[in-house]
Homo-oligomer: A and B are copies of this chain.
Amino acid sequence: MVIGLGPGPARQVTPEASQLLAEATDIIGYGPYVDRVPPSAARRHASDNRVELDRARQALTLAADGARVAVVSGGDPGVFAMAAAVFEAVESGEEAWRELDILVVPGVTAVLAAAARVGAPLGHDFCVLSLSDNLKPWSLIEKRLSAAVAGDFVIAFYNPASKARPEQIGKAFAQLRREAGERVVVLAKAVGRPDEEIVYTSLASVEPGDVDMRTLVLIGSSQTRLIEREEREPWVYTPRRAEG
């Protein structure tokens, strides 16, 4: 099983995920996600970040031996998380792994939680990109940013920054400024958690230093706008109606 734990709070974990986690014999994942699984009799195999393929092979090996394994991801396991790593491991791995029952259990992914927190910024067509260039060249990210602007999509960035590559988010903002002009930008950090922080800004004003690896970045389409309110946070939304 490859199970999505949702964006953070227990109230956003689906009953399906909770029940399957309770039935697992082994829980495998990045340490902070394993720590979010409620106590149970399962063996726990916490690993470091960036060892997704090793983790997937470990899970498949245990499952082929008869264990009921739950690989856990934050958010949804299919969005920049463990599901693709598991199927990569299957494709390149032992023939017997293709006979396993693999169940992917969806969850609320970060972009949905961030959007809900600020209003309805995804009200129209949108793109979701990882800004990490661990697994793809920066030139492909540039090509996709240009395409997203050409299509006037709302854009969401996962993995927008890390200690190893703090400058990339600034490069992405600069490219978008050149190609799209001005746009609403929302930086949504740790949505639903005690240290949640939301910044309402724009391509002209955004500070790349305000973005860290726990931030979900939303960039509006040409139609995305703020509804201002007295002494309260604005709402951000993208109208459902659009012109050509």
Q: Does A188 contact B (CB under 8 A)?
A: no
Stretch from A36-44, A57-65, A145-153, A163-171 forming part of the interface with B: A145-153
A99 vs B98: C-alpha distance in the bound complex, in angstroms?
A: 55
Residues A238 and B105 in contact, CB atoms below 8 Å apart: no
How many copies of this chain does the complex contain? 2
A175 at the interface (CB under 8 A from B): no
Pairwise interchain contact A240-B147, C-beta atoms closer than 8 A: no
The size class of the interface chain A forms with chain B is: 35 or more
- Is A46 among interface residues, defined by CB-CB distance under 8 A? no
Query: In the complex the two chains form, is A88's CB within 8 Å of B151's CB?
Result: no
> Contacts of A11 on B, CB cut-off 8 Å?
14-16, 19
Cβ of B151 and Cβ of A143 under 8 Å apart?
A: yes
Which of these, B123, B151, B229, B241, contacts A78 with CB under 8 Å?
B123
A38 to B139, CA, bound (A): 50
How far, in angstroms, from A150 to B9 measured CA to CA in the complex? 37
List residues of chain B with CB within 8 A of the CB of A126.
127-128
Interface residues of A in 1-59 (CB under 8 A from B): 4, 6-7, 9-16, 19, 52
Binding site secondary structure of chain A: mixed
Q: Known interface pairs A87-B227, A151-B148. Does A243 touch B140 (Cβ–Cβ under 8 Å)? A: yes
Say whether B120 contacts A87, CB under 8 Å: yes
- Cross-interface CB contact of A120 among B84, B108, B225, cutoff 8 Å: B84
Q: Which residues of B contact A153 (CB under 8 A)?
A: 127, 144, 147
Instruction: Tell me if A116 and B105 are in contact (CB < 8 A).
Output: yes
Is A137 in contact with chain B by the CB < 8 A criterion? yes
Q: A107-B108, A120-B84, A239-B84 are in contact. Are A244 and B16 (CB under 8 A)?
A: no
Q: Given B13, B76, B117, B229, which contacts A14 in the complex, CB threshold below 8 Å?
A: B13
Measured between C-beta atoms, what is the minimum distance from A220 to chain B in Å? 12
Taking Cβ atoms with an 8 Å cutoff, the residues of A that contact B are: 4, 6-7, 9-16, 19, 52, 76-80, 83-88, 90-91, 98-99, 102, 104-109, 112-113, 115-117, 119-130, 135-137, 139-140, 143-144, 146-148, 150-153, 225, 227, 229-230, 235, 237-244
